């Protein structure tokens, strides 16, 4: 059995879980999330504790046990607290601005980059260089953050680009050019 799959999921009081067959719906103050689970996984719900049980104990299904327990746990956390990601723009002239349905990025290209914002994600731009993303869906939030980041990945020489908050870029030393010494003294 999976060690993660055996762990119970604590359900807050303001979260409602509905399990009908292979459909799991989680509803909370920040939204509603839905997923489909395989038939070999069963969910039991007692008061405020949810257990994910594996019916078939073969090797191929053991990994699914932990996976679906984690997915359901992320759904519960998302609708009760929301997930948050922060992106930082580093570079001269790099800026971000948010309209109602799209984010506009100035990243050193000859044109501004406009990206449409998916429905459950909310964006806040702080001081034109910090982008705060919030959503109840962890998977969608990560995909959207990577889509924004793909427009200007951090480069190792100057450290410019779109970085996650607290991300460390391993810097490389650039070309040193002529140092004045070629290694030969010129004397024989």
Q: What pLDDT, in 10s, does the model give residues 133-165? A: 999 999 999 999 999 999 999 999 988 999 999
Q: pLDDT digit string (tens) for 109-126?
A: 999 999 999 988 999 999
For the record, the structure tokens of 45 come out as: 């719900």
Is the domain defined by 3-80 classed in CATH 3.90.930.12?
A: yes
Domain positions in the chain are 3-80, 83-164
The two domains 3-80 and 83-164 share their CATH topology (first three levels equal): yes
CA distance 158 to 98: 27
| pLDDT recorded at residue 34 | 92
CA geometry: angle 65, 81, 25, nearest 5 deg: 50
pTM over the 0.75 mark: yes
pLDDT band at 100 (very low <50, low <70, confident <90, very high): confident
Residue 92 has pLDDT above 80, yes or no: yes
User: 20-39: string of b/e by CB count within 10 Å (b at 16+)?
Assistant: eeeebebbbebbebeeebee
CATH topology for 83-164 is: Outer Surface Protein A; domain 3 (3.90.930)
């Amino acid at each position: 059995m999976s060690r993660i799959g055996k762990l119970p999921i604590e359900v807050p009081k303001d979260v409602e879980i509905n399990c009908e067959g292979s459909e799991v719906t989680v509803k909370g103050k920040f939204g509603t999330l839905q997923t489909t689970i395989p038939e070999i996984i069963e969910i039991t719900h007692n008061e405020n504790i949810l257990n994910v049980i594996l019916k078939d104990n073969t090797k191929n299904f053991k990994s699914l046990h932990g996976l679906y327990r984690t997915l359901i746990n992320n759904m519960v956390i998302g609708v009760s607290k929301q997930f948050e990601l922060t992106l930082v723009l580093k570079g001269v002239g790099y800026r971000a601005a948010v309209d109602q349905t799209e984010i506009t990025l100035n990243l050193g290209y000859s044109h501004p980059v406009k990206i449409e914002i998916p429905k459950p994600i909310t964006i806040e731009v702080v001081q034109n260089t910090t982008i705060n993303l919030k959503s109840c869906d962890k998977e969608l939030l990560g995909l959207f953050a990577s889509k924004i980041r793909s427009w200007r990945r951090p480069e190792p020489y100057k450290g410019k680009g779109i970085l996650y908050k607290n991300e460390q870029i391993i810097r490389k030393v650039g070309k040193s050019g002529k140092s004045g010494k070629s290694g030969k003294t010129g004397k024989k």
